[in-house]
Each structure stands twice: as structure tokens, then as C-alpha cells.
Amino acid sequence: MIPSTTISNAISPSTPMQPYWAEIAKIVREAPGVSTYWLKFLDPSLVDGFRFKAGQFNMIFVPGLGEVAISISSDMEDTRLVGHTIRTIGNVTTAISHMSVGDILGVRGPFGSWWGLDECVGRDVVIAAGGIGLPPIRPVIYYILHHRREFGKVILLYGARTPNDLQFSSEYKAWQDGDIELQITVDRGDDAWQGRVGVVPILFYNTRVDPHNTVIITCGPEIMIRFVIFEALARRVPADRIYVSLERNMKCGLGSCGHCQLGPYFVCKDGPVFSFDKLQPYVNVEEF
Amino acid sequence: MADIKLSTGSTAALPKTALGEMIDRLHEMGYHVIGPQIQDNTIVYKTLDSVDELPKGYISQQDAGTYRLVYTGHQRYFDTTPGAQSWKQFFFPPQTDLATYKRDENGRWQTEEQGKDLTPLALFGVFPCDLAAIQIQDRIFLREEWKDPIYWSRRQSALIITVNCLHPCGTGFCASMGTGPKSNPGFDLNLTELEDVFLVEIGSESGRLVMEGLPVLPPSAFWLQSAQKGLDDAKTKMGRSLPHPELLPDLLLNNLEAARWDDVAQRCMSCTSCTQVCPTCFCWDTHDSASLDGNVAKRQRLWDSCFNPDYTYIVGGNTRPNTRARYRQWLTHKFGSWYPQFGTSGCVGCGRCITWCPAKIDVTVELAAIREEVQA
């Protein structure tokens, strides 16, 4: 009898470019052009056996069209279904947007580094996210909710273009009930909007940040990230407690194809999550 | 014939007239032999059937933007330094299939990986710089966590026969990079070509097996001295030099706004030649295609280049939108960030990027200019 082998990730060391297959089990529309695709691996040992850390990504493959790097947006303590929140924007994501429950996608992963949750334990956590930058952070929110006592004050600053573009809005109440302070802003309101209008970094002005005991977690448009970091540094949060997730062109996830390089780093392997001290020499060099 | 014990680490002499027998022996042992040959007025690497196909009697003249083969009628086989091609094409092909995916009637995809050609290769006539390049690519494609299956399937069984470089090229600086003119360990056999004999250094058990049965002689002191003298002379005949490559990572990564980047950007055409001829450049892209009914999909891997405009394209922008940014990436990576990534320089000093640059851009000149600008 062949012994059953348990695998905990969808990366084969001998054929690292070959995907594992997964079925779309559920599609949840989050905002216009943004949906979460809940995938169930066909390989039984990966169902519930798949392990990832908050902040890591998978390469999602549509045969004939190619792969896209998508952060995992679901709970790392429940991997029966693995969530990928995808904005329809290019060839591959457009093809995925036309798919239905039961369709098959290729998955390789998880790849990359993760948010410094260990650093967060015993500290306040300020999360600053913009637009599609929230999904890579949602696993952090779930982890904090499950282990709330391990953390100090937890604040989520989130912004989107319009009220319609706010993702995961049905969950906000649960997050607040779980003692996460939520501050939301939009670039443009509509007639019904009674909340704030403005960019995410401005939300820092309503937020008390204890520089000795706070971890910053940020993901979103690069311009937003720059200003979030500016505000955090201005409040004397040390650079090694500011975590940033970067976006680059990625083709392999292995640090092999070269595309995602940033100085000494392969963003797919050494990132996408970096503590800001590692990026400081390079972030202000234009076009590097 | 004198009796001589062949073992790993030992050196034997092989009469020049027996070089053909060595090639025949490789064929008998089942190797697919690849060697340097003249084609299109340059040296290419392709299937070597016989000793007569080697570029005997030729020399090569190289300078920035120039490569010429000249027939002088001498009696040496390995006086022509490499052309644009390197050996990386055999382990890391320019274009190769990753897999074909077929969708069955249940909508499930079946993966058919490309069949691997398992015939072992014998790379015959590898110059020391190019052995060093293979060893650098080993670090890129053979990791602790994973092995590239295409690279590994060809690399693991390959036999490498190097030739010490007694007539270095006009654009090379292997002596500066520590990769030549004498071959570093890692070869199976290492030849030094003298007038009448080859000295053959045995680097492995596979190499020793090749030598068994060949009409070898004990190496005379005269031959050993001639070889040493040839190598000492070769060091002084390098066309280029690059002092202190180990200082380049700091120099480059601390001077990302040097004026020289603007200067070189005016001359560089972003043509990708340097990256295609470079024996260590490893960037690759995927290419996907599908049958009209969408049920058969193919994935290919192709060489890419950091000079290609879409190399850094993501939706919403291009992080390196111009030639200045792209040239800076290439040079800072090759001579700088390669060290933290792979524990070595990315350059072996082969000089190909200088020879084959249509704009005659010379990395040794560019690096010296940045050094000078910073020190000024």
C-alpha cells in the first residue's frame, strides 16, 4: 500500500512551476470589480492541510492565459477554503471574473514573507489600508480577533475611492464588536455618505500612537504607503516596527525569474512584507 | 607508452594527435558532445562529431562592439575565445516548454510535463570564465528549497571539459574576477593546450573514466613549466581589468543617483544584447497560449531581460520606465546586489557584454567612471 503523504503547501520542490488544482467553491462580491474567490484544493491533503502565514500570496493560474500573484485574504486558522480577493484589472483577472463556482484554477504557493504578528503581541497595532490593500491584511484582522487578549489597542484605518468601493463592509460590525477600532474614509462621498472624506494618512491625526509600543501595518497604493510611513515616523515609531507590503511584477514566486527585484531583494521571496528599515535605502530612489 | 596512474587530482599528458580519440571515447560512453565550431563568422556551440570541426588555426580578435575570426594556420584547437553564445543555453534553454495542460470532459486539467532528454551532455572546450558562469547559474537554479527541473535534468549528468585560456580575449577581465585564465575546480577534465600535447587535469571520477584507455603520457617537467608560463603570460594579456570587484556593491548601491547613469543612458539602446550574451543572466518570462477551443493550454519559459520595457510593468505603472533606470538595474545587480542574493558577483569577466554591445558600452569603463565620479 502506498503510504499517504501529507503536504502543507502547494509548491513542489522538484517541479516548482507546476500548479496544484483547486475548485472555485464560492464567489463573494466585495465591491464593484472586486470579488473573493474561495478555493478548495482538489488534492485532499491540502484541504484544511494547506498552511500559510498572514501576508503571503499564491500564484493563481488560468491555463492558456497565465498567472497572477494574489494575497491570501482568508483566515490562516481555517484553510478548508482559501480566500483570494481579486480586482478585475488585467487579462488573467478578467478571465477569473468570468468564472463560476465549480470552475478550476491552478494554485502555487504560499510564497513570500508575512506580517510581523509576533512583533504585535503585547503591543498596539495600527493598520492602515487603502483599496485593494485591505485583503492582504484581513488574515491579520482574523488572527487578532481570535487572539484578541494578546494585543493592545488595535486600530484599522481604511480608505477607498467611494463608499461603494469599501471592501468587506458586512464584517465591520463583527470587527468592531471584537474590539477593533475602525476609522473609515473615502476619496469621494455620495449623497448617503455621512462618514469622513479624505485620504488614509490623515486618519493618523485622530489616532493616538504610542511610539514605544506600536506596530504599524500598511498596504495600499504606493503613494498612500509613503504618507503612512511619513506619519508613522513623525510619531517616532521605529522603522523596524513599520511593516509594508509591496507590489511588483511577479512571475515565479521563487526568486528565480528576476522581475520583482528591488535592490538586493526579490520582492516575491524576501517580501512582499518588509519592515521599513530594510527598504529605507531604496524607497526614495526614483525608478529603482 | 609509460605507465601512469590516473586518479582524481592527477595530471596526465595526451598527445595532440589523440584528441580525436578523446572525442570518440566520449561518444562511446554515451555522451552527446557539444563543442565550439565556426558558424556565421563566429564561434557557436553545437553537436561535435569529430575533432575536425574544432576551430583549429583560427584566432579571435575582440574589442568593444567588435568580434573577428582570423585564420592564421596555427596548429592549436582552442585559441578562439567564445563568441556571443555561452553554454547557458544547454541547461537554461532560451525557449522551452514548461508543460501542456489538457482539460478533460469533467473540466479538470491534466498536466503533461515536457519529456526530458536524459542523454548526458559533454561540454567540450569550456573556458574557465564559462565554468565559473555555470557555477553561478547553479546557485540560481538549484536551491535548497527547490530545483529547477529543466536545469537539473541536464546539469546533473553533464560532463564539463574545460580548457585553460592561454590567449585571453581583448574584452575579458577574468583575472580581475578570479575566474581565469586557469580553470577553478568544478571541471571533470581541464585541458592546457601546448604545442605537442594537452596536459589533462582530472577533476572527477567521470573525468578519469574518460581518460582510461587513451594513450596518455606522464607529464614532463618541461610541459608543466610551459603550461605555467603560458598561464602567467595570459594574466598579463587581458584586454580589460576591473580592480577590486568586491568593493562594487557599496559603490553602486550607495550612488544610485550618480551623474554617470544619465550619461550611459544616452548611449545605451536598451537592446538587451548584454543580457542575452551574458552567461549568468538568468531572467525569464512565461508565455501562455491555448488552442482555439480553450481545452489545451501550453506554458513556455523564455529568456527575458531587465532592459525589456514590460519587465517591470504592473497595472498602474512601470517601476523602471526608462533606459537610465534599466541600465542602472542591470549594472547594480550584476556587480552589486548579486552578492547579497547569491554570495558572489554576477560577473565572471568574460567580456561578452562589451564585445556584443552595438553601442560599444564597456562595463569596466562605466564602473571606473562611477568610481571616479564618487571619489572626485
Span B331-361, pLDDT tens digits: 999 999 999 999 999 999 999 999 999 999 9
Mean pLDDT (whole number) for B324-328: 97
Q: Considering the domain boundaries, does residue B5 fall inside one?
A: no
The C-alpha cell of B28 is what? 562511446
Pick the last residue of a domain from B236, B262, B295: B236
Domain boundaries, chain A: 20-111, 117-245
Flag whether pLDDT at A194 surpasses 70.
yes
R_g of chain B computed on alpha carbons = 22
Mean pLDDT (whole number) for A91-118: 97
B75 at interface of A, judged by CB pairs closer than 8 A: no
Question: Which tens digit of pLDDT belongs to each residue from A221-277?
Answer: 999 999 999 999 999 999 999 999 999 999 999 999 999 999 999 999 999 999 999
Mean pLDDT (whole number) for B221-229: 97
Question: Which tens digit of pLDDT belongs to each residue from B182-191?
Answer: 999 999 999 9
Pick the last residue of a domain from B180, B210, B236: B236
Nearest to B243 by CA among B82, B65, B372: B372
Count of the separate structural domains present in chain B: 2
| CATH architecture for residues A20-111 | Beta Barrel (2.40)
Mean pLDDT (whole number) for B110-122: 87
Mean pLDDT (whole number) for A161-185: 97
Q: Considering the domain boundaries, does residue B123 fall inside one?
A: yes
- Give yes or no: residues B134 and B88 share one domain: yes
What does the pLDDT read at residue A3? 46
H helical segments located in chain B: 19-28, 88-91, 128-141, 149-155, 174-177, 205-211, 221-236, 248-253, 259-267, 273-277, 323-332, 338-342, 352-355, 363-375
- Give yes or no: residues B181 and B255 share one domain: no
- Give yes or no: residues B204 and B139 share one domain: yes
What does the pLDDT read at residue B116? 76
The C-alpha cell of A66 is what? 497565465
Kindly report the average pLDDT of chain A as a whole number. Answer: 95
Those of residues 282-301 in B touching chain A at CB distance below 8 A are: 282-286, 288-291, 294, 297-299, 301
- Give yes or no: residues B207 and B267 share one domain: no
A32, A164 Cβ separation under 8 angstroms: yes
Flag whether pLDDT at A2 surpasses 60.
no
Residue located via cell numbers 560599444: B360
Residue located via cell numbers 568586491: B246
Question: Which tens digit of pLDDT belongs to each residue from B60-113?
Answer: 999 999 999 999 999 999 999 999 999 999 999 999 999 999 999 998 999 998
Residues 6+ apart with CB under 8 A from A138: A73, A74, A83, A85, A168
Please report, rounded to a whole number, the percentage of residues in chain A having pLDDT higher than 90. 94
Q: What ipTM score was computed for the predicted complex, to two decimals?
A: 0.93
What does the pLDDT read at residue A1? 43
What does the pLDDT read at residue A146? 97
What does the pLDDT read at residue B3? 64
Query: Closest partner residue to A256 among B140, B290, B306, by Cβ?
Result: B140
CA gap B86, B276 in Å, rounded: 9
- Give yes or no: residues B66 and B157 share one domain: yes
The pTM is what? 0.95
Question: Which tens digit of pLDDT belongs to each residue from A120-162?
Answer: 999 999 999 999 999 999 999 999 999 999 999 999 999 999 9
- Give yes or no: residues B220 and B274 share one domain: no
What is the maximum span of chain A, computed from C-alpha positions, in angstroms? 67
Those of residues 73-112 in A touching chain B at CB distance below 8 A are: 89-90, 102-104, 106
Mean pLDDT (whole number) for B241-268: 96
| CATH architecture for residues A117-245 | 3-Layer(aba) Sandwich (3.40)
- Give yes or no: residues B142 and B270 share one domain: no
Query: Closest partner residue to B256 among A63, A90, A288, by Cβ?
Result: A288
B148 at interface of A, judged by CB pairs closer than 8 A: yes
Q: Considering the domain boundaries, does residue B173 fall inside one?
A: yes
Kindly report the average pLDDT of chain B as a whole number. Answer: 95
What does the pLDDT read at residue A100? 97
- Give yes or no: residues B177 and B28 share one domain: yes
How far B337 CA lies from chain A's nearest CA (Å)?
5
DSSP A42: S
What does the pLDDT read at residue A286? 85
- Give yes or no: residues B141 and B171 share one domain: yes
First and final CA of chain B: distance in angstroms? 64
- Give yes or no: residues B141 and B271 share one domain: no
What does the pLDDT read at residue B350? 97
What does the pLDDT read at residue B376? 83
Which chain A positions have a beta carbon within 8 Å of B315's beta carbon?
89-90
Flag whether pLDDT at B4 surpasses 90.
no
Mean pLDDT (whole number) for B304-327: 93
Q: How far is CA A217 from CA A136, A178, A197, in A?
A: 11, 19, 22
- Give yes or no: residues B123 and B270 share one domain: no
CA gap B303, A126 in Å, rounded: 42
Closest chain A residue to B340 measured between Cα atoms?
A264
What does the pLDDT read at residue B315? 80
B48, B22 Cβ separation under 8 angstroms: no
Flag whether pLDDT at B282 surpasses 70.
yes
Q: What is the domain range of residue B340?
A: 245-282+305-375
CB contact under 8 A, B107 and A21: no
Which chain B positions have a beta carbon within 8 Å of A67's beta carbon?
286
Mean pLDDT (whole number) for A14-34: 97
Pick the last residue of a domain from B236, B270, B292: B236
What does the pLDDT read at residue B118? 85
CA gap B198, B227 in Å, rounded: 9
- Give yes or no: residues B145 and B275 share one domain: no
